[in-house]
Each structure stands twice: as structure tokens, then as C-alpha cells.
Amino acid sequence: MNVLIRADGNEKIGSGHIMRTKSIAAELKRLGAKVLYALADERGKKLINNEFQSVVLSSNYECLDDEINALSSVIKEQKIKLILLDSYFVTPKYFKELKKLAKVAYIDDLDAFAYECEALINYGAFFDKNEYKARQNLAKKYFLGSEFAPLRAEFRNTQKSSKNTQKKQVLLTTGNTDLLGIMPRLLEAFLGDESLKNLEFLAISGAFNEHENKLLTLSAKHKNIKVLKNPENMAQIMSEADFVLSAGGSTLYELASLAKAVICFSIAANQNNIKSWAEAGAMLYAGDAKADSHSVVARSVNLLKSLLNDENLAKTLGQKVHFFVDGKGAIRLAKELLSL
């Protein structure tokens, strides 16, 4: 089957749409499908990294209706049978026109309107599926819940363990962007606290991180801070950390699959529901950095102290969070999509 994936990634929207669809694409390819990415512009190519064929539509990723003709031509030329959409800028018109050409599946985070599609994917861990289906009554099939979280294969195979060193290692990640510059502020706050300043800190600088120089400056001044630029072996890196501070998004599901003790916070509008992890007793929630970044930094300091001083807390969080994600979501989705 010829499958087209429509997704974008850039310094504003980050890399989540492309990274999670790449997990599904890898499984589709393994099962014999031919996968083609359609991108609005060249920026998404650095995230695909030549792993899949791609075509650039030269369109505006925020105005998908304007690209319908160009995308339709690609679909016809490539004899596409299935389209997997992953964008927050879809419209009812976009769905209607694409459905004329191929079966359409959509990955939803926002529940913005009723999506008219063959298959609707929402891998959120905490929502009422029946109420969701009642609102989303134009989809023919539903793949709902964290069992469908599309994680990369490395998160199925990495041993769930901590680094065996005397110093505790703290991992910080905000995905491929850090528009609020929260990561260097967190590091400065930890360094300024007597009980935290000597921990080992590992900061992940994503592909579109505009604050990387600040991180590198801190690393140059402090031997216990290491900065990694867009590393490929994230599962292993996460596994070796004792504690993790992370923004919302698919990263939380990756950390859950590794049974990590996590302090989470939101940095974007689509991450406002991550407090549900804390309400389930599976993570610690530091707040919404968009609304009050100062409070998020202060809470993170206190929460990290709690983890450092209570080994049972970290162990309990890891056990609870792993219950929600087994890492096999991409496999399940690929099989379901090819059977549509």
C-alpha cells in the first residue's frame, strides 16, 4: 500500500508531529507499505533525515486549505491509498477534499471539531473515550488511549534502569524547541540551591532550540552540566537518568514506557492536559510555564528536592507511570491502518 503522511516541523511548532508519525512510518514500512512524507517547506526535512522519501509542497503550514490542489496532485501521481494527517491546522474542507482521493486517518490532540475520516487516533492517557466518540461522530474507526502511543522502537527494547553512579543524574528536555527559554532558567535555579547544585545535569538541546548558547555557556562554567545536541539515542539517555524534568507531549509517553520518575510542565497550549499524569499519581506537575514560568521554576526546585530526599517516591512514580504505556503503540497503529 502507498501511504502519504502529511506533517510539519519547525522552530515554532516543534518536531512532535513528524517524530511520532516517523514511528508509525517505520512500522508501516516494515509491514511492506511504501511511505511518502508531504511537507509544507524544507524545515521538516532535517527531522525526517532521509529516512523516508519526502515532497515539499511550498505551502504555508498554517493554511492547509491553500495547498489542497498541490497535495491532491501528489496523491494522484503517487497512487496514494491512505493518508495519515498530523497537523493542528486541518479544516473540515481539508478532510472533505482529501477523502475524495484516499482513505484518511488523523492523529488528534485538540478535539477541535468533528473530523470526517476513516480512522481517528487519540492516544491520550486520560480522557472519557465514550464522550469523545459522541463528539467525534464522523469517524468510522477509533484508536484511542495510551496503548496507541506511537513510540519509536528503541523504547520497546531499552532496559528500564537507572545509571549506577554516586551522583544522581537529572535529565532536562523540552523537545526540539524551548520558546520560553525555561531550560537554562531551571539549571540556574538548581545551581543556586545548596542541596541540588552538585547533581549531574544533562540538558537536551533540540533541533530548533533558540537558547542553546545559554545552555552551552552554563555547561562551560559548570562541570556537572552536559549539553547534548539533538541526540539519536534518547531511550538510552532517558533510561540512565535518575530523575527527569520534561515539557509535555509525546516525550512523557516515552518516559512512561521507561518507568522514569518525572517532573512535568507545560510550555504550549496543547500540553495543558498533562496535569492528569499528576492527578493519577504517575508524575509530579510543576505547572504551566506559559502562564507563570517563575512559579514553574520554583516548584521544580522543590519537587526535585522531594525526589532526591525520598527514594520511595521516585520508585512509586516509575511503577505507576509505566502502567499506562508499553511502547507498542506504533506497531498496533501500523497494523490497524493497513487493514482499513
What does pTM read for this prediction?
0.90
**What would the pLDDT profile of 304-335 be if each residue is shown by its tens digit?**
999 999 989 999 999 999 999 999 999 999 99
Judge if 316 and 334 occupy the same domain. Answer: no
Which 3-state string (H, E, C) describes 16-77? Answer: HHHHHHHHHHHHHHHCCCEEEEEECCHHHHHHHCCCCEEEECCCCCCCHHHHHHHHHHHHHH
Judge if 163 and 114 occupy the same domain. Answer: no
| φ, ψ of residue 110 in degrees (nearest 5) | -105, -20
Judge if 204 and 63 occupy the same domain. Answer: no
Judge if 253 and 280 occupy the same domain. Answer: yes
> Domain range for residue 37?
2-151+327-338
Kindly tell me the burial class for residue 270, based on how many C-beta atoms sit within 10 Å of its own C-beta (0-12, 13-18, 19 or more).
middle
CA-closest candidate to residue 177, choices 202, 203, 208, 204? 208
**What would the pLDDT profile of 193-239 be if each residue is shown by its tens digit?**
999 999 999 999 988 888 999 999 999 999 999 999 989 889 999 99
Q: Is 321 helix (H, G, I), strand (E, B) or coil?
A: helix
Judge if 266 and 291 occupy the same domain. Answer: yes
Q: In one letter, which amino acid is 146?
A: S
CATH number at residue 175: 3.40.50.2000
Quick one: cell of 19? 517524530
Judge if 125 and 183 occupy the same domain. Answer: no
Judge if 205 and 95 occupy the same domain. Answer: no
According to the model, what pLDDT value does residue 46 have?
Answer: 86
Judge if 146 and 167 occupy the same domain. Answer: no
pLDDT over threshold 70, residue 16: yes
Cβ atoms of 292 and 265 closer than 8 Å = no
* Residue 160 vs residue 191, higher pLDDT: 191
Cβ atoms of 102 and 339 closer than 8 Å = no
| φ, ψ of residue 186 in degrees (nearest 5) | -65, -45
Q: In one letter, which amino acid is 62?
A: E
Q: CA-CA distance, 232 to 186, in Å (whole number)?
A: 24
Judge if 147 and 188 occupy the same domain. Answer: no
> With pLDDT > 90 as the criterion, what percentage of the chain qualifies?
87
Q: How many domains does the chain have?
A: 2
Cβ atoms of 277 and 252 closer than 8 Å = yes
Cβ atoms of 258 and 156 closer than 8 Å = no
What average pLDDT score do residues 241-266 get? 95
End-to-end CA distance of the chain: 11
| φ, ψ of residue 274 in degrees (nearest 5) | -70, -15
CATH number at residue 23: 3.40.50.11190
**What would the pLDDT profile of 75-97 be if each residue is shown by its tens digit?**
999 999 999 999 999 999 999 99
According to the model, what pLDDT value does residue 107 have?
Answer: 98
Q: CA-CA distance, 293 to 307, in Å (whole number)?
A: 21
Q: CA-CA distance, 58 to 287, in Å (whole number)?
A: 37
Judge if 28 and 95 occupy the same domain. Answer: yes
According to the model, what pLDDT value does residue 272 have?
Answer: 75
Q: CA-CA distance, 26 to 254, in Å (whole number)?
A: 17
pLDDT over threshold 70, residue 166: no
Q: CA-CA distance, 204 to 254, in Å (whole number)?
A: 15
Judge if 113 and 211 occupy the same domain. Answer: no
Judge if 134 and 166 occupy the same domain. Answer: no
Cβ atoms of 152 and 24 closer than 8 Å = no
Could you tell me where the DSSP H helices lie in the chain? 16-30, 45-48, 68-77, 92-99, 129-135, 154-157, 182-191, 212-221, 234-240, 250-257, 275-279, 289-309, 311-322, 329-338
